[in-house]
Amino acid sequence: KLRRELHLPMAEDYLEELEGDLTLIVDLPELFPQKELPDSHRIIGPLIYRSRDSETELRERLENGKPTLLVTTGSSGSEDAFQLLRETPFWKYNIIVTGSAGNWGKAAHIFHQPFLNIPAVIDRVDVVLTHGGNGSIYQALAGGVPVLCRPVIFEQEWNVHRVEELGLGQWLSGNISPRELKKIIVSWLDKTRTGPLIEMAGWMRACQKNQPRQIHGLLDRFLKLKKIKSLSEISITERMRS
């Protein structure tokens, strides 16, 4: 339907539809370097959603002086992987849990948020525990925060291998004990927003500074090359419909 409306040639197969005439790669070269790419592939950096929610209520509930852990497992992970954070060794932490409440209960040190505007609280977070998805990793690294990962699928395993290689976090085994996990967390607290983590956060800021203009320019040139209206000529109604 969209191809007909924009007078584009029909794709011959699904793979051709996926690749497209212009492919924008939402990764950071410093984290995932690429070899020679065809002209149709451009790296634009990770896309991070920022809502207007300042998360003021949550920030006020976090107890000052306590390290803060953030548990976020996206759509493919499971919060159950980190249930051991309910145990006694972690009562001295603020623990923010996103997504489903699962079996977390109502412990005083656990703060459940069905949806969280992570950029609004990342400055209060010391360590992120995650499944290792791209979105979760990039949101943590944007704040200079290390990631401790329990990957679920092979792509997440690739991510965690690279994270470990660069000294940005660690792979957690599936049978880790509360005592072992606490030891690992403590070992990363002093590394938050230092060394390679603060350097990666700088790369993230530099990438996102001109990201909207870069994307607009790439799309505008692409449309002109295909003899389609430029973005500035397409009405808001047309953009929303497409």
- 76 and 169 belong to one structural domain: yes
Residue 14: what pLDDT? 79
Q: How far apart are alpha carbons 138 and 195 in whole angstroms?
A: 17
- 95 and 194 belong to one structural domain: yes
- 60 and 125 belong to one structural domain: yes
> Cβ of 103: how many Cβ atoms within 10 Å?
9
Q: What is the pLDDT averaged over residues 81-92? A: 85
Q: What is the pTM of this model?
A: 0.84
Indicate the length of the chain as a whole number. Answer: 242
> pLDDT for 8-31, tens place per residue?
778 788 777 777 778 899 999 999
Q: Cβ distance 86 to 104 under 8 Å?
A: yes
- 118 and 224 belong to one structural domain: no
Q: Which CATH number covers residue 113? A: 3.40.50.2000
As a dihedral over the C-alpha atoms of residue 191, residue 50, residue 105, residue 86, rounded to 10 degrees, the angle is -10
Q: How far apart are alpha carbons 241 and 239 in whole angstroms?
A: 5
Place of tokens 């047309």: 238
Q: What is the pLDDT averaged over residues 157-165? A: 96
Q: What mean pLDDT is reported for the chain?
A: 87
For the chain, where are the E strands, in sequence order?
A: 23-25, 41-43, 68-72, 94-98, 110-113, 127-130, 147-149, 169-171
* Residue 108: C-alpha distances to residues 39, 81, 111, 143, 179 (Å): 54, 20, 8, 26, 20
Residue 236: what pLDDT? 45
Q: What is the pLDDT averaged over residues 199-225? A: 91
- 85 and 162 belong to one structural domain: yes
Q: How far apart are alpha carbons 135 and 48 in whole angstroms?
A: 8
Alpha helices in 45-102 (DSSP H): 56-61
Q: Which is more confident, 213 or 12?
A: 213
Q: How far apart are alpha carbons 170 and 143 in whole angstroms?
A: 17
Note down the domain range covering 125. Answer: 56-205
Report the domain count for the chain: 2
Q: How far apart are alpha carbons 121 and 53 in whole angstroms?
A: 10
> Cβ of 38: how many Cβ atoms within 10 Å?
8
> pLDDT for 112-141, tens place per residue?
888 999 999 999 999 999 999 999 999 999
Residue 75: pLDDT band (50, 70, 90) is: low
